[in-house]
Structure 1
């Protein structure tokens, strides 16, 4: 049996979080694209196939890439406020990391299905993630989109104007990376 491990980090890809504005005043708010700037994924390989994945994300590394929609575009000060509100909601001082650990990886037609556990805000729940793999010759392109319900992990979505403008409970986590073939 041939075993090895590989490490993926932000130099190889990106981990984004997409939010949507909702409520009666949603048109005033922005759909946000956030980026997690510090993360590491350790992938264990057995006989040329992924056997386990451990992803660790530094919660405080969150930055605001952009805000779409709204009455006007987000200013630098507004991006800083959005970041501050998100870090407060995640309670990064008490919960400095977000993690995923696979228990099982099964090959699918377009890649792999990872079954494991996701830990956010001090709560851990089972989570399956479908990872698409595209062969680009010298590299593999890895992509995944998953919906995460914030309240499932004890995170209260931000709201203002007595709840008439709020961040939707469901956020989309998108991962993409290029992994060089050995």
Structure 2
């Protein structure tokens, strides 16, 4: 096929061509197993979210306003070691152009948001709080935005490039599609 013929194809036709040329992933579970896993994971997340609502209300009502924490140094140093490991993993995966950069960058961004939140919420009023606010506003939150938005933009580009979504469609509307021809027990439709 020429570039002109490919350019003239609809996004649906391009996706079908990509799927015809792509090898079937090895070790892919059956369609039934994939669907069962998807449903159970979705149910698990909704049950956890429902359970978290009364738990959060309970904590808001029962936690003391002041608390002396055990292992304070180990908690913060351990958290920073985890953040450091995730940032290194993100940097190495990005440098080597590995797909692991997507979840690593996203997780690093979330950890930076958590770091900013806990720094601000646990700081004493005055210089300590000012330092936490400046660190959050100038370093942690901008870097978190880059680490979360960058991979999302790349995923969006990849979804468009592979014909999974139309060019003007937002990523949050992109479905997760497993082409039937790549799944076991698929019977092709013949006209």
Instruction: Place the TM-score, normalised by the shorter chain, in its bin.
Output: under 0.3
TM-score (norm 1): 0.17
Higher helix share: 2
Q: TM-score, normalised by structure 2?
A: 0.17
Higher relative contact order (CA 8 A, sep 6+): 2
